[in-house]
Every structure is written in structure tokens, then in C-alpha cells.
Structure 1
């Protein structure tokens, strides 16, 4: 959908409808709105620009008369020409055909809507999976960057696996998580999502089966589907993935690996206990099924530390382990890591060099400084304390306003509450109604397309005041 990031100047001498014509012409002439692009509805344009719908209609009629746009049955109003092609004998390039035939699958419409409205400061982001701006350590990061004055010796490309001092710092940090990993077995990536992309492209065959929890964050991504992988969901209970279902699934279908988020699962918030982890490890060892462990939330426990990662139990090189600073420190740093057998890390590093030629040198310098000493641990303590307050406030608000219409479990860490509605309903309709109220939701069907009773609530991003307000308004929408 086109972004209408402009408004007419109602105090200018040029009439508003002529300003709209000029704006649309510039978009078409510059190629930003190519031929066959569908324009927003008249109502959407009128609301975005703060004008009467009749003003928009007048402007569009002029553009139609000039042959730049046309109404197409079933498609609305589309760009039919550009200013230079009106006078040219050759037809303009059909960029929309390129868009429609590109090989990478598109996000589902709700995900596109979420991505669009997350940048709107007027929206209360009730499902966003990142820390509030208030929890990001701006001052400390400024101090770290300032401390590099006179010590900045590296701003070029890093070696394929990432800057060695950072890999050494990650190795030391992982030791506190019970994981022994040499720098040679660590690859620095631009967050956990890139780790998934590299794994899908570097070590898996097209058509491979990926076992994973259902619901799962992975269902909201096209990273594996773009490589023609098959996602094979395994049922969950209150302790995570069900071992007996996992064992049966492996026997029924060939699978390449198990993808799991055992600590404060996204989207359900579930924490897999130690005995369940050992069961899962035993099944995968018996079946020789590799595990891809996503541990980006593992350090965000709120009441007491959770069990050690699966990787800490790994004695046979079975587990590929991914971590990141995006959920705990800063998504803007774009720093994460993959831990695994050295041949796998070498292969993934080679693929990464073909993709982006290495992570940001400046971000790697800053991340290394954060992980040295106890600075990072002190930051985590502050984040945990704040998230615990936010979780308690959210659960209290749910108890006041959602009694009788929904049920939930109090999470022991992470960002999320998996809210289950007592009655199934059209979650897309609820999503759109909440959007009209200035509330951005993450409905459950983006994590499981058959889900019509869940939504992922996050207490990590919105302010406490906005959390209270949005939850109250959402309860009123549900009761209607």
C-alpha cells in the first residue's frame, strides 16, 4: 500500500486540489508510483491529507483527463501512464509485473499492516516485540562510543566470522549461560533473523521439513518458505513442545531440523523446564535430528533464572544456538551470533560474506565493549526490574477488564502474554477495529493461520499509561 506522507498547505496561494494534482504527478513522474500502481481509496486520501473527499475527486478527475490515471473494475484507481510516456511512442516499463512475479513471497497483509503502523507515533503498539525506548541504554552507549576516541583502530570489513575481539567477548558471555564455545565456533550476524536466513540458504536443501512449535514466530516469517521449506507444527502444552508428539512426527515425516524457542517462547511466553529439555534432547539425539535453538529471550527472566539453554546440555554438537542483543540491549545495533560445529560456522560465514560482507564494524566495536566486564549484566538487571513491573501492571489490568472474556497465564520472563479469548471471532475484524482506535495488535493467526482465539500482548514496548488505556479500550471492543 502506498504511503501518503505528505499534506497540502492550506495557507498557500495554490488551491489544495492543484497541490494534490502536483504531488501525484511528481510521484508518477519520478517513478515512485509506476504504471499499474493502485492508488489508495478516495476516503483514505482525504483522511491522510485532511481535506474533503470532493477535493480529492476533483484532483483525480483532472489526472484522469490528462491520461495519467484510470479507474479499473475490481482494482480501483490505478496509474495508467507517466508524464513522459504520454508523449513517448514506446510503452513505459511495467514495474508492477516485476513486483508481482518476484520469487520471494510477500508477507501476509496483516504483517504488512503491522510493519506499516509500527512507525506511526500515534499508535499504541500493544504487540510489539522490542524494548520501550525508555529502556534502551542511550547514555551508556554514548559513553561507550565516546570511550573509543583514540582507540578506534578498525573500521574496515571484518573477517568472515566477525571481529575476533567481539567473538572472544561473546565466548566469555556464553560461559555465563553454561555454554562452552570457542571464538572459532561463533559467527557474528545481524540479529537472529539473519541467522535463520543463513541456515536456510547455507546448510538446508529446498523442500526440507522444519519441525517447530505451533504456534511459532516462524509462521509470521517467510524466511524458510522462501527457500521452499515445509513447516511441520508440533503441539505445545504449558511446558513447551510435547515430546511424544515430536517423536511421532519424526517417525512420520523426514525432517531436517527442529526449530525451538524453549525460553519465554514467542508468542506464548512458555518456559520449557529442565526435565522437558532433557526429554527433547534425548529424542533428537536418538533420531539424529539437529536442533536450532533460538535463545534471544533467555536472559529476560523476571522472577528467577530459567533452566540453562539446550546448547548447555549438548555433548554431541547437535545444537545450533542463536542469540542476539536486539531484545535485551538495542535492536539498532543489529548484533547477534550463531554457535555451532566449526564446519557449519565456516559454511555460514562464507554465505554471509556473499550476502553482506560482514556486520557493521562500529556496531561490533560497541557490542564488544558492552559484553566486557559487568556493564551488560548491570543493564540486564535494570531491564528485568522494569519488565517485571510492566508484567505485573498488565496482568492486573487484565484481571480488572478481561475477566469472563479471556484467559491467560502470567509469564515468568520475556515480553509476551498469550491471551486466549473465550469465544472465537474474526481476528482480522478485531485487528482493524482496534486500529481505528489507535491500537496496534498482533493477532494469533499470524503465528498459526487457523487461530481465531488468541492475540500476543507485549508489556515491553508501550508506556505504562498507554498499556492501561489500550487494554481498557480493547476490552470494550471485545465486549461489544
Structure 2
């Protein structure tokens, strides 16, 4: 075990004692020698851990008392990890091979693609005041036109502009879903959506998947034993598995949910990232009862920094969600909404994707070749038809936590499967959308060595 890992273990244990109330503010903590003996580590490791805790404001040295607990409220809460084992955000030139990031690299996009659109707006903006509660009207009209062209007819009045898909989920969870209800979702599922629902006091019921998406039979079984709240699904190029739900399965899911009055949240932010052929029609497009709330976003396909997403649903629901959003932030950025309207309203978005898909396809194919070359005897995986995630399952029964730590020390980042399942997993999520082909290949080569070493 690396020194850094040992230090983190000591840090986390001390935080846990304070969190549980075993050590209270003003209480002296055990000496460096005692801690070193308890953890069977060098005193230098303990000193490094204590220095980190002092920097976080959790402990402090006090004359005549030694090292004491300084705070057990905001400083402790701010320092606690929200998602275990999630890689840190690092600058692009850090030398890290990032196979974890769920976004497209800048060099996937055409040169100057964003400046051209922003340039069109120059001189045409007279003010940037608050927009309507549901969002900038030309943008809602553009989104409605775009969705209609994609086969999901909606009206502008049925759309709420939000600051990214995550805000959409948060609004739905806080404004529409009942505390203590069950959220049915694919297992594994997107880690941030898991946290959103759990933070609202909802329980999660994982639904098994196959190559066509979530299994309706398992949904029916779980539905009978839970207090239903809603079904949350990512049918297009699912995160983290990359699975594309078939049209037949979409119809099955919609039929079951309509019959049992189970609302559906369709997270469709990866739809435009298809590489081999367009995906099936959205679940929303088949919904005649207003049972589906649809979430779309430009964050994965155009620019995360724009923070533009939308919810499409029945008008009374959109009105309710817009009231909650106004209480939260008083509206999404006016400038971002205008940029997005320019993209979607002129059909530039669809044109833009002809280039992006071509570049992303090269990365997907290169990733497939790299995995086959280096890991064919060590893991199993499925190459997706779109998106940028590959869900890889190791054949060896090794600790993914140790592999993660060793890989991070080697400058390679990936997502352990456990953060998507909430428990032990022999799977990892790799992204080919951010790291370049040469970087991806180098990262997989190094990971192969680590897997072999941990298998011995």
C-alpha cells in the first residue's frame, strides 16, 4: 500500500470518530505514537494525516493541551468525501491519463465552432435581464423545433430551461417526488442521480439490465414490493454501461409504467452521440398519457460551460417546476440561453454533429482495438453504439479499490464500478471521449501491468 493511501486511511478514520461523536470539540486526540501503533504505520504517515486535518480546520494544536478536536460541524462536513473514489478534477496539461471524464475533449469539436455562434450575437444584445420563468422564449421555441425534428413533438409551453440536466433532476426530486418513495433505476446507474434521490430521502431499487436495457420483468417484481415513486432511466447509451435500450423494450417499459401509474424520468442527454446508426424513438415520443418527463442537455454534446438543459413535460408540471426553479436561482443565464438558441434555432446543432460523430467514431474504434490488444484475456466488455463509455468487467477476482489506487499513483484515472452500484463490483467505467487515442492506449497498457501484478 502506498504512503498516500495509508495517510488517507488515518484521516478518514479520525473524521469518522468525530462524525460519530466519539471525539468531541476540545477533546485531545491520541498521540502520534499511539496512532502509529494502532495503524501499524510510520509516525511520518500519522504526521502527514494530522497536518491534512489541521489544514481542513478539524483539529488544532493548543498550548498545554496538545492536538485537540477543533470543530465537528461545517469544517467536518465540508471535508467529508461526497463520492468515494471519484477522481479529482485536474487540468488538461497535468500529465494525467484521464479515462474517467464523462465529456468530449476540445479537439473533438470543429475549430472556432463556439466563437462563430457567439460572434453572431455580438451587437445584437441590448440587455440581459431576467427571463420568463420557463426560460428565454426563442430558446424554448428552438428546443421544441429540435425535439420535433428528432421525432418527439412538443410545444414551447411544455419546456422548462434549466441549468444543466442535473438541475432538472434536482427540481423533479424536490418538487414532485414524495419523501420516502422508491426510485427505480437501472443497476448500475449514474452516480450523481443516485445522490440526488438519496439526498431527498428516497430509497433506490436497482433494476437488472441485459443488452436491450432494463428488464421489465424485474421492474414488475420490484414494483410489487416497494412504495413506488418514479422510474429513472437513461435509454440512450446508458451511463455507465453504454447500453442502448431497444425500441421493443422502450414500448414494454412505457406500457408497464402507464398501466401501473408509475411516472418515468427519461434522461436522454446522450441521444446525439450515436455512432453507427440513430437510436430508437424516445420513450417520450410514444407517451400519450403525459407519463414521461424528458430531460435533454447540451452539456455532453456542445459545451458543459453553457449549463443549458431542459425538461419537457405536461404544461401544469412544467409550471410547477418553474416555480421551484425561480426560488432556487431566479433563472438560467440569459447569455447562455441566447447562445443555445442560436445553435438550435438555425439547425447548426445537427450540422455540428456530423463532424463530432466522425471524430468520436475514430476514438471509439481505437479504444476497441486497444482493449482487444491488451485486455482480451483479462476482462470482458461490450463496445457501445454511441456515447463514450465502456463498462469493463475483470475476469480476475482482484480488489478494484487497490487497482484504482495503484492506477492513480501511475497517473491513470478511471471510475470504479462500486460508485455506480453502491457495493462491491469487479467492473470499471472507461471513457474514450476525453483522452486522445494515444493516451487511451498508453493508459490501458499500464493498467494491464497493474491487473497482472495484483492477480499474483
TM bucket (normalised to shorter chain) is 0.7 to 0.9
Per the TM alignment, residue 116 of structure 1 is displaced from its structure 2 partner at its CA by 4.1
1:185 aligns with one of 128, 142, 158: 158
- Residue 225 of structure 1, aligned match among 198, 202, 213: 198
1:98 paired residue among 50, 55, 74: 74
- Aligned 1:403-422 pairs, distance under 5 A: 403-422=376-395
Mapping of 1:453-472 within 5 angstroms? Answer: 453-472=426-445
Could you tell me whether the CA contact under 8 Å between 1:409 and 1:418 is conserved in 2?
yes
Q: Give the corresponding residue for 2:256.
A: 283
| TM-aligned CA deviation for residue 144 of structure 1 | 1.6
Shift, 1:441, TM fit? 1.0
Determine the structure 1 residue equivalent to 2:60: 80
Which among 345, 354, 362 is matched to residue 389 of structure 1? 362
| 1:360 has 2:360 as partner | no
1:452 to 415, 425, 436: 425
**CA pair 295-105 structure 1, distance change in 2 beyond 3 A:** farther
Question: Which residue number in structure 1 is paired with residue 142 of structure 2?
Answer: 169
Separation of aligned partners in 2, 1:142 and 1:164 = 23
Q: CA deviation at 1:143?
A: 1.7
Judge conservation of contact 1:177–1:312 (CA < 8 Å) in 2: no
Aligned to 1:207: 180
- Tell me the TM-score normalized by structure 2: 0.83
Contact 1:220–1:446 (Cα < 8 Å) also in 2: no
Change beyond 3 A, Cα 1:325–1:186: same
Cα distance change on mapping 1:193 and 1:105 into 2, 3 Å = farther
Matched-pair contact (CA < 8 Å) for 2:380–2:393: yes
Check whether the contact 1:35–1:78 (CA below 8 A) recurs between aligned residues. no
Specify which of 303, 306, 310 is matched with residue 276 of structure 2: 303
Instruction: Give the 3 Å change call, closer, same or farther, for CA 324–340 of structure 1 in structure 2.
Output: same
**Cα offset for 1:450?**
2.4
Shift of the 459–410 alpha-carbon distance from structure 1 to 2, 3 Å rule, reads: same
For the 8 Å contact 2:84–2:419, the answer to whether it is kept is no
Offset of residue 343 of structure 1: 1.2
Partner of 2:35: none
Q: Tell me, what secondary structure is at the counterpart of 1:227?
A: coil
The CA distance in 1 between the partners of 2:235 and 2:168, in whole Å, is 17
1:35 positional shift: 10
Q: Is the 8 A contact 2:57 2:71 kept in 1?
A: no
SS of 1:210's partner is: strand
- State the superposition RMSD in angstroms: 3.1
Residues 137 and 326 (structure 1 numbering): CA distance in 2 closer, same or farther, change over 3 Å?
farther
- Post-superposition Cα deviations, 1:35-61, rounded to whole Å, max 9, x if no partner, equal 99x9xx9xxxxxxxxxxx99x99xx99
Correspondence 1:440 to 2:413: yes
Structure 2 counterpart of 1:194 = 167
Shift of 1:151: 1.1
Where has structure 1 moved over 3 Å in runs of 4 or more? 69-72, 75-79, 92-96, 99-102, 115-120, 218-221
Query: Which sections of structure 2, spanning at least 5 residues, go unmatched?
Result: 1-24, 33-41
Measure how far apart 1:315 and its partner are: 0.7
2:11 aligns with none
